[in-house]
Amino acid sequence: MPDVLIMRHGEAAPGYPDQARRLTPRGELEAEKMARWLAEHVAAGELGMPRIYASPYARAQQTAQRLCDALETSFETLDFITPDDSPRAVSDWLLEQPEGAPIMLVSHMPLVGDLAGLLVEGSPAKGIGFPTAAIAELEAEVLAAGCSQLRRFTQPSQL
């Protein structure tokens, strides 16, 4: 089972300030589709019930809430997973987390791509592109740079 799930928020409308940008109707549908997918995989025992953390930005909060509604759980806000935060700081935080339930981070590009690159390849520069509402599932003995394997990558257009 994955140890970390990294998700980009659903499609968001343009606007200012960036923190207040909200999901578009398409973004809401993307988040709901991925929430149903996630709930099905948890119910089938393919995924453990994740501890969900979201960026404080409105679009990530909305996306995380869709996940929580489908899973009948709640999420916590992490102030250091906004678009331009350091993937190394997030990696350090992951190393401090207790073992057990998988951790799900709902955040933004470029952080989600850079973090995946850091955890899998050992370098944020080798990150992957995340379509809106995509989820990367990573497995690792230790959640340190270059120690994870990408188990699965799912995006709304595949469902």
Buried/exposed code over 38-69 (b: 16+ C-beta within 10 A; e: otherwise): bbebbeeeebeebbbbbbebbbbbbbbbbbbe
pTM above 0.85, yes or no: yes
128-151 pLDDT, tens per residue? 899 999 999 999 988 888 999 999
Percentage of residues of the chain with pLDDT beyond 90: 89
Measured CA to CA, the distance from residue 46 to residue 40 in angstroms comes to: 9
Which architecture characterizes domain 4-158 according to CATH? 3-Layer(aba) Sandwich (3.40)
Residues in the chain: 159
Secondary structure string (H, E, C) spanning 116-147: HHHHHHCCHHHCCCCCCCCEEEEEECCCCCCC
